[in-house]
Amino acid sequence: MPRFLIIGSYSSESAKTVLARGGTARRSAIEKMLTGLGGRLESFDFAFGDDDVYVLVDLPDTRSAAAVSLTLNGSGVARTRTVVLMSPEEMDDAAGIHPDYQPPTAT
Provide block-wise average pLDDT over 10 residues at a time, the chain (107 residues): 96 92 95 98 96 97 97 93 96 96 82
pLDDT score recorded for residue 85: 98
Spatial contact of 91 and 40, defined as CB atoms under 8 Å apart? no
Q: What pLDDT is stored for residue 106 in this prediction?
A: 65
pLDDT for res 107: 62
Quote the pLDDT of residue 91.
96
CA-nearest of 23, 38, 33, 40 to 72 is 33
Distance CA 30, CA 57 (A): 10
CB 59 within 8 A of CB 65: yes
Claim: this prediction has a pTM higher than 0.85: yes
| Alpha-carbon gap, residue 106 to 91, rounded angstroms | 26
CA pair distance 65, 81, nearest whole angstrom: 10
